[in-house]
Structure 1
């Protein structure tokens, strides 16, 4: 049963709404703040009502401010506003998420009709919510983390994502969480129309179809969600939004590959909280290795260090006084993949064509093919040149 809550109902309308709502009626006093939590606290832990009616005649500004926040936090609740100023408040009410304005002189039949329409809208919203919750995330979230910049993080991320997309068509989306200076789109030679903030708006509205239209399709079949075009926009992106985004994408794609900024920013921690396969990247240098050790320790303390972690060492053939054995001893976890230096990598980055796409004989391709094979489903494998082999047959 959809519950109908009426807040601040004046004595002239309270009996009408109580009768029209029937057994689902809940009477709430006047709101005293813009916080939905303050109003819902009057329910003593009860569920959020499907319909909320606010009598705005006492304080219209407070009701509209509350409605705006309520709609943002509980978009499934249908909001109605009782007002004797429809022309003055109409536009503001629409922007606040109010579904309908009700005249305080409306009789019982009119109120029943308005509430009936609202209840049907709430039932449809509840059904969509139940369907979404029933569809639990099944995709793997692969997040690449490094303590320092310049170790090849975006190169690794884009090549892994391209390899997965080529091996399993329509399976993979890459998300650029280096919010201020991310260059995944540049590394893939893309000029996107939409960026991360656009996708977050679709997620907040619960519109999965709109979310997919905000993704840019790469020629390999990889879907791309670039970082904000304006670095200042990063300030408006929250960790909670990132968490919600990754949960939605993991329901829609088999693989969600995440590039991050160096270190452990809040957004990176938000991503790691939903990560199934962390790729911990380092180079053979003391600063990079020392920083990654701090990351491993931090994730262990936060209990975010999953069993599927994978340590990747880039430029593993560098002779700079640090060896793979030093990596094992410093991190306390074994190296999973060693990637030798690639003479083609700089040009690949500059022209925006990943090595997994265009250079099958490159040593990086051979090393990453082994890593990607750990992520692919049974029966699908990459050979040493990054070509897909399915049940004993290969395809380019």
Structure 2
């Protein structure tokens, strides 16, 4: 399934109150006649705003602002409409319904757009009847909250044991998906008392995550938006710092309710599941489309990596398992030949041991890849793999094995 099929198309939009500010319909058309028709026909059906521009204008604007419930974009004159749709998918909420208009009367283009999830394609010059019909159909679908929607990709990051850098991987993966893949990303720390995701980014978490998981029936999209802290224009963090003396037991169903709500509003939801020892973390692993298993090449780390990999394979809900060897080059690690003999195959990714840049980054609350080129390159490969994008083929571990 293509990226667009995952991120666009037949998905319900949250209620208007949950959307906050912004039009119900946002339209981009390149010609005056289409703009005039939209301004005449659309307001009687739903609140709207019409802007002059094409799909590339929409990509530029939506990279900086909230997505509407319904989006109409103009493909006229665009050399590669499908590539433009791919770019749009990277900046839109997964729940957005998209109508395309254009000057190409090509049945192949129509079929391609429908296949990737575009609600409708209208050929110019636009007729009032066809336009109103498309808007009614898309608007009715957007209002149907009970209809099943397309959700953003859920990625669970789990450590084979403590100290292998699970949070480091989760934080940097979230940053890359937001910055490199240009997707709206939520980063969730399921350790409500001792988690360090917010700390790693020099953020103070809002005191709302506990309420969200203890009373999920009282949570709506407005509540979730206020509970999250922005780390960048595309990356938001949901974390907590609850008293260590409290007993907190997150019900798996409550955790999944929160994660599903986040998936409806984000392209990616990255969960720091720690060592997956609680029911909520295990539920996240089973629900995830990708599980990133982090370990190192120490004797104990390798033992636990093998055990947890087998356990995840038995319990997984069908998600893909990606193994990451962290802290490659650290003192006391096993030789590559021994690691290969134990694992049976190389891990998909390896991240270099760089204690000085890590310490510098931790001190200022920044991603370490701003201070270390090799770590950045390794994270780019991992992030591209998770996002389903092409990346450099020659990974760090494979170069290490060949030495």
What's the TM-score bracket when you normalise by the shorter of the two chains? 0.5 to 0.7
TM-score (norm 1): 0.58
CA 1:195/1:294 → structure 2, altered by over 3 Å: closer, same or farther? farther
Does the CA-based 8 Å contact 1:135-1:251 persist in structure 2? no
**Distance in 2 of aligned mates of 1:151 and 1:144:** 12
2:338 corresponds, among 326, 331, 335, to 326
1:281 aligns with 2:273: no
Give the secondary structure class of the aligned counterpart of 1:374.
helix
1:376 corresponds, among 387, 392, 399, to 387
Q: Which residue of 2 aligns with 1:106?
A: none
Aligned-residue offset at 1:175: 0.3
After alignment, is 263-272 or 132-141 more displaced?
132-141
Aligned-residue offset at 1:276: 0.8
TM-score (norm 2): 0.57
Q: Name the structure, 1 or 2, with higher relative contact order (CA <8 Å, separation 6+).
A: 2
**Distance in 2 of aligned mates of 1:239 and 1:233:** 19
CA 1:187/1:303 → structure 2, altered by over 3 Å: closer, same or farther? closer
CA 1:136/1:326 → structure 2, altered by over 3 Å: closer, same or farther? farther
CA 1:166/1:282 → structure 2, altered by over 3 Å: closer, same or farther? same
Aligned-residue offset at 1:167: 2.8
1:167 corresponds, among 180, 183, 206, to 180
Does the CA-based 8 Å contact 1:190-1:218 persist in structure 2? yes
Instruction: Point out the structure with max Rg over C-alpha.
Output: 1
**Distance in 1 of aligned mates of 2:267 and 2:337:** 34
**Where does 1:235-384 land on structure 2 (aligned, <5 Å)?**
235-304=248-317, 306=319, 308-318=320-330, 320-342=332-354, 343-356=356-369, 358-359=370-371, 361-376=372-387
Give the secondary structure class of the aligned counterpart of 1:178.
coil
Aligned-residue offset at 1:300: 2.5
**Distance in 2 of aligned mates of 1:291 and 1:377:** 28
The gaps in structure 2 that reach 5 residues or longer are 1-139, 395-403
Aligned-residue offset at 1:305: 6.1
User: Deviation string for 1:86-106 (max 9, x for gaps)?
Assistant: xxxxxxxxxxxxxxxxxxxxx
Give the secondary structure class of the aligned counterpart of 1:258.
strand
User: Deviation string for 1:132-166 (max 9, x for gaps)?
Assistant: 44243421111111121111111111111011111
**Distance in 2 of aligned mates of 1:271 and 1:326:** 32
After alignment, is 167-176 or 209-218 more displaced?
167-176
Instruction: Provide the aligned C-alpha RMSD in A.
Output: 3.0
Q: Which residue of 2 aligns with 1:155?
A: 168
**Where does 1:35-184 land on structure 2 (aligned, <5 Å)?**
131-169=144-182, 171-184=184-197
Give the secondary structure class of the aligned counterpart of 1:223.
strand
User: Deviation string for 1:208-252 (max 9, x for gaps)?
Assistant: 222112111113531000134223556242122111111221121
1:197 aligns with 2:207: no
Give the secondary structure class of the aligned counterpart of 1:270.
helix
Does the CA-based 8 Å contact 1:143-1:275 persist in structure 2? yes
Does the CA-based 8 Å contact 2:299-2:333 persist in structure 1? no
Q: How many residues align?
A: 254
Does the CA-based 8 Å contact 1:202-1:208 persist in structure 2? no
Give the secondary structure class of the aligned counterpart of 1:309.
strand
Aligned-residue offset at 1:324: 3.7
The gaps in structure 1 that reach 5 residues or longer are 1-126, 385-396
